Amino acid sequence: MTTPTLYDVHAIRAQFPILSREVHGKPLAYFDSAASAQKPQAVIDAQARYLSHTHSNIHRGVHALAQEATEAYEGAREIVRAHLGAASTREILFVGGTTDGINLVAQTWGRANLGEGDCIVLTRMEHHSNIVPWQMLALECGFDIHVVELNPDGTLDGDQFEQHLARGPKLVAFTHVSNALGTVNDVKHWTTRAHDAGATVLVDGAQSVPHLAVNVQELGVDFYTFSGHKTYGPTGIGILYGREALLDAMPPWRGGGEMIGTVSFENGTTYNELPYKFEAGTPHISGGIALGAALDWMNGVGMASLTAHEHVLTQHAHAQLESIDGMRFIGTAPCKAGVVSFLIEGVHPYDLGTLLDQLGIAVRTGHHCTEPLMDKLGIPGTVRASFGAYNTVAEIDRLAEAVARAAAMLR
Amino acid sequence: MASVIDERQAEIADEFAMFGDWMEKYEHIISLGRDLAPMDESDKVDDNLIKGCQSRVWLAARKGDDGHVRFTADSDAIITKGLVALMVRTLSDAPAADIAGANLSFLDEIGLHSHLSPTRSNGLQAMVKQMKLYGLAFTAGA
């Protein structure tokens, strides 16, 4: 671990304009980065600069703006490729976000490869985004879904994972980091095991890319997807990485401009090469460029220092909250990233969230789009504090004090 | 002549005007939640459940011989329950037609209007709608 003292959190905070605002007359303490991270000035500027200086439709244009816009957009694709350690930009698809990325895989690879008698493996900790697209497809195509349950600390039940792999699933789809529990899964290990069992592997990286250095080739995954807005970039843009051989073999999903080779009523239509085959229509150009700026910004901070800083915050939050009467942490895996989820005996999460809001503290309460997990745990939801590059130890002390104060009012 | 519902709203606004800060206000809401007359367990059934995303609210209504509608309600979250208590206090034991046509302005006056927003997902907005529907149904002689 790098020394956290080298990390100048105040210099980082100063780059986020929103963090200087007040909420209910109190300084904002933002602990909801797992839902969406705030944006540094560099990202805001990149998007504004593009819109005020460079904008035009990309590709196929002969004029200067079209070329500059194309270069900026394709430049962002290269930034993403380098950030993920992918072999080629042909493997980097711009999509709407993680949800969109998973739906793309379900509707193309899934539709082409999954049928009656097949099975896939998901886990209990998946976000609805990595459950519902498969359920919808299963209804149409008739394959089975097997679910890996969790150990009491919120880690995957490895024995059961192996048992499900022994069924010979066609696909194993799981999250890198749990949005509700913070658990970091051993992607490399489970990808190897899934490949040994003959399965294709999709990993939901929505909660990992904001916190950890990710190298898709090192992990060995087939598909990896994440959202721009959780990595300090804009909403409405995200990435789907896919191994070139797989993407090549997959049929296109959405039809339209950009994704075609030639279009003819008489001779039929041919499709464009990768990655454009999957990018029908004019994309979110400014979003893609700003996503590139966001990854540049994260790399400027340094992924290792970012991970180390957030580790300190998570540890500190556990230590400070632990002493509060009735505190129950939901998710105590040895390896966690960016999230502390909890309940206080006799206190409804909604009430606690409401009072914390009055104190200027933004947390998320509820089921965090993981209803199957909450049902299994027998709880209606949790209070979740999630951390980003800009959170401070002092803010966490404020959170712990506020939770204690609110809990005393509510009990 | 002001309706009984408007008189009650004015009374609540006066009551909340006494509080200096949000803490006192919320402490009062919490105590109203604690003091809300308990709902019969037999009424706490799924048919009477108003599904908010996060906090659950139960609501039951009966029409008395005097033509007034009486509500009982509960919630699993105490702040929501306090707000539920304010709604019951305002609308219960009033003529059905008055309930159906009630203009609930008191939440604005006491600075709690945001709790009625659908984004709060607390079931309160759906509860008010349901109370008015009961008012309408009982006006029609149900």
Give long-range contacts, CB 8 A cutoff, 24+ apart: A67-75: A69/A285, A72/A285, A72/A289, A73/A283, A73/A285, A73/A288, A73/A289, A75/A289, A75/A292
Question: Given B22, B54, B76, which is nearest A365 (Cβ)?
Answer: B54
**Same-domain pairing of A335 and A256:** no
Instruction: Say which amino acid occupies A64.
Output: A
Treating both helix axes as pointing N-terminal to C-terminal, what angle do A303-322 and A285-301 enclose, rounded to 10 degrees? 80
**Same-domain pairing of A61 and A129:** yes
**Same-domain pairing of A93 and A222:** yes
> What confidence tier does B104 reach under pLDDT thresholds 50, 70, 90?
confident
Other residues' Cβ atoms within 10 Å of the Cβ of residue B60:
18
Q: Which domain holds residue A363?
A: 4-39+302-410
Query: Among A273, A300, A327, which residue terminates a domain?
Result: A300
Say if CB A305 and CB A120 are below 8 A apart.
no
Neighboring chain A residues of B79 at a CB cutoff of 8 Å: 350-351, 354-355, 410
Neighboring chain B residues of A349 at a CB cutoff of 8 Å: 54
Instruction: Say which amino acid occupies A78.
Output: E
**Same-domain pairing of A306 and A288:** no
Give pLDDT, residue B111: 78
Which of A354, A365, A382 is best to mutate for the B interface (most B CBs within 10 A)?
Answer: A354
Neighboring chain A residues of B30 at a CB cutoff of 8 Å: 409-410
Task: Please give the tally of structural domains in chain B.
Answer: 1
Buried b (16+ CB within 10 A) or exposed e, A123-137: bbbbbebbbbbbeeb
Question: Do the Cβ atoms of A350 and B122 come within 8 Å?
Answer: yes
pTM for the full predicted model: 0.93
**Same-domain pairing of A51 and A181:** yes
**Same-domain pairing of A310 and A178:** no
Q: Assess whether pLDDT exceeds 80 at residue B122.
A: no
Beta-bridged to residue B33, according to DSSP, are none
Q: Which residue has the tokens 């340094």?
A: A302
**Is the minimum CB–CB distance between B79 and chain A shorter than 8 Å?**
yes
**Same-domain pairing of A228 and A372:** no
**Is the minimum CB–CB distance between B54 and chain A shorter than 8 Å?**
yes
The phi-psi region of residue B75 (left if phi > 0; otherwise alpha if psi is between -120 and 50; otherwise beta) is beta
CATH number at residue B93: 3.90.1010.10
Reduce the DSSP state of residue B59 to 3 states and report it: strand
CATH number at residue A279: 3.40.640.10
Q: How distant is the Cα of B124 from the closest Cα of chain A, in angstroms? A: 13
**Same-domain pairing of A336 and A398:** yes
**Same-domain pairing of A30 and A67:** no
Question: Given A350, A358, A409, which is nearest B55 (Cβ)?
Answer: A350
The complex scores an ipTM of 0.89
Give pLDDT, residue B108: 81
Between the CA atoms of A48, A52, A53 and A56, what dihedral angle is there, to the nearest 10 degrees?
A: 100
User: Least CA distance to B122: which residue of chain A?
Assistant: A350
> What confidence tier does B67 reach under pLDDT thresholds 50, 70, 90?
confident
Task: Please give the tally of structural domains in chain A.
Answer: 2
CATH number at residue A317: 3.90.1150.10
Say if CB A187 and CB A176 are below 8 A apart.
yes
**Is the minimum CB–CB distance between A410 and chain B shorter than 8 Å?**
yes
**Is the minimum CB–CB distance between A358 and chain B shorter than 8 Å?**
yes
From A50, A386, A38, A93, select the one nearest A238 (Cα to Cα).
A93
**Is the minimum CB–CB distance between A157 and chain B shorter than 8 Å?**
no
**Same-domain pairing of A348 and A391:** yes
**Is the minimum CB–CB distance between A355 and chain B shorter than 8 Å?**
yes
Whether A369 is catalytic is: yes
**Is the minimum CB–CB distance between B78 and chain A shorter than 8 Å?**
yes
In angstroms, the CA A267 to CA A284 distance is: 31
Question: Do the Cβ atoms of B79 and A380 come within 8 Å?
Answer: no
Question: Do the Cβ atoms of B54 and A358 come within 8 Å?
Answer: no
Which of these is catalytic: A119, A141, A335, A369?
A: A369
**Same-domain pairing of A83 and A145:** yes
Say if CB A98 and CB A226 are below 8 A apart.
yes
**Same-domain pairing of A119 and A140:** yes
Q: Which domain holds residue B46?
A: 4-139
Alpha helical stretches, state H, A85-231: 98-105, 111-113, 132-141, 158-165, 187-196, 216-219
Query: Among A300, A317, A347, which residue terminates a domain?
Result: A300
Chain centre to alpha carbon of residue A228: 8
Q: Is beta strand A200-204 parallel, antiparallel or unpaired with respect to A171-175?
A: parallel
Say if CB A157 and CB A189 are below 8 A apart.
no
Beta-bridged to residue A242, according to DSSP, are A223
Q: pLDDT 10s digit of each residue in chain A, 411 long?
A: 444 447 999 999 999 999 999 999 999 999 999 999 999 999 999 999 999 999 999 998 899 999 999 999 999 999 999 999 999 999 999 999 999 999 999 999 999 999 999 999 999 999 999 999 999 999 999 999 999 999 999 999 999 999 999 999 999 999 999 999 999 999 999 999 999 999 999 999 999 999 999 999 999 999 999 999 999 999 999 999 999 999 999 999 999 988 999 999 999 999 999 999 999 999 999 999 999 999 999 999 999 999 999 999 999 999 999 999 999 999 999 999 999 999 999 999 999 999 999 999 999 999 999 999 999 999 989 999 999 999 999 999 999 999 999 999 998
> What confidence tier does B50 reach under pLDDT thresholds 50, 70, 90?
confident
Q: How distant is the Cα of A164 from the closest Cα of chain B, in angstroms? A: 33
Question: Do the Cβ atoms of B27 and A380 come within 8 Å?
Answer: no
Q: Assess whether pLDDT exceeds 80 at residue B113.
A: no
Give phi and psi for A340, each to the nearest 5: -125, 115
Query: Among A300, A322, A352, which residue terminates a domain?
Result: A300
Say if CB A256 and CB A280 are below 8 A apart.
yes
Question: Given A24, A350, A409, which is nearest B54 (Cβ)?
Answer: A350
